């Protein structure tokens, strides 16, 4: 048997997308800074004009999963990092948004096979969110670290899968043409 584990080295070929909710941007901007700092310290070019990281701003956390899934369907990225902040208020709105965002981000990864990192803060107060976005620590760093590790791990797992198919004398399964065209249509819209 073997042990597979992601590493944080050899990042120069990885591509990432970062989807950031604009709502609560005081918090999400800080998360983004932590995320960029981690990626940069691990050899990733975080320049928006570069070729390794694409940045996508959406209105709020609720819109993050939809865009993350669309990006994952392109298969251009080794991992997608989702950043947002949902802060409890006086209505049940928090519960609905937090639950749907969580489910949507998980589904995006499951449906596409691309690591989609859950970087959505769900807190009771703005103070708690700020503490997690830089006052005490910056979880943006952790989210980027997870993306690096998962990108590396998935490269290993995909290599294992490809090697298994080659050893068996077959090629990896392909999608039917109708599914390919549906995905291409989704990705281009």
List of residues 6+ apart from 97 with CB closer than 8 A? 60, 61, 62, 86
- The helices-and-strands tally (H runs, E runs) of the chain is 6, 4
Q: What is the pLDDT of residue 50?
A: 96
75's torsion region: left (phi>0), alpha (psi -120 to 50) or beta? left
pLDDT tens figures, 105-135:
999 999 999 999 999 999 999 999 999 999 8
Whether the pLDDT of residue 22 is over 90: the answer is: yes
pTM of the model: 0.85
**Catalytic residue among 10, 42, 75, 93, which?**
93
Give the count of domains, the chain. Answer: 1
The CATH number covering residue 75 comes to 3.40.50.960
Considering the domain boundaries, does residue 90 fall inside one? yes
Considering the domain boundaries, does residue 170 fall inside one? no
Domain of 61, in residue numbers: 16-154
Whether the pLDDT of residue 93 is over 80: the answer is: yes
Q: Which ranges of 55-115 would DSSP assign to H, the alpha helix? A: 64-73, 93-112
More confident residue, 162 or 38: 38
Q: Which ranges of the chain would DSSP assign to H, the alpha helix? A: 25-41, 64-73, 93-112, 126-132, 139-167, 177-188
Nearest Cα to Cα of residue 42 among 13, 9, 14: 9
Is 93 one of the annotated active-site residues of the chain? yes
């Amino acid at each position: 048997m073997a042990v597979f584990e992601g590493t944080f080295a050899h990042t120069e070929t990885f591509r990432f997308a970062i989807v950031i909710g604009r709502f609560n941007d005081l918090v999400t901007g800080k998360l983004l800074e932590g995320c960029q700092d981690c990626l940069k310290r691990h050899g990733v070019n975080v320049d928006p004009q570069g070729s390794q990281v694409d940045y996508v701003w959406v209105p709020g956390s609720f819109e993050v999963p939809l865009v993350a899934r669309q990006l994952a369907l392109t298969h251009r990225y080794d991992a997608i990092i989702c950043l947002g902040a949902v802060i409890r208020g006086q209505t049940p709105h928090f519960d609905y948004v937090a639950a749907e965002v969580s489910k949507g981000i998980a589904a995006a990864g499951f449906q596409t096979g691309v690591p989609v990192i859950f970087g959505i803060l769900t807190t009771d107060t703005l103070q708690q969110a700020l503490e997690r976005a830089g006052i005490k620590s910056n979880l943006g760093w952790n989210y980027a670290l997870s993306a690096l590790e998962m990108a590396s791990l998935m490269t290993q797992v995909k290599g294992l899968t490809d090697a298994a198919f080659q050893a068996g004398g077959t090629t990896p399964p392909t999608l039917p043409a109708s599914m390919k065209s549906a995905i291409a249509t989704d990705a281009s819209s």
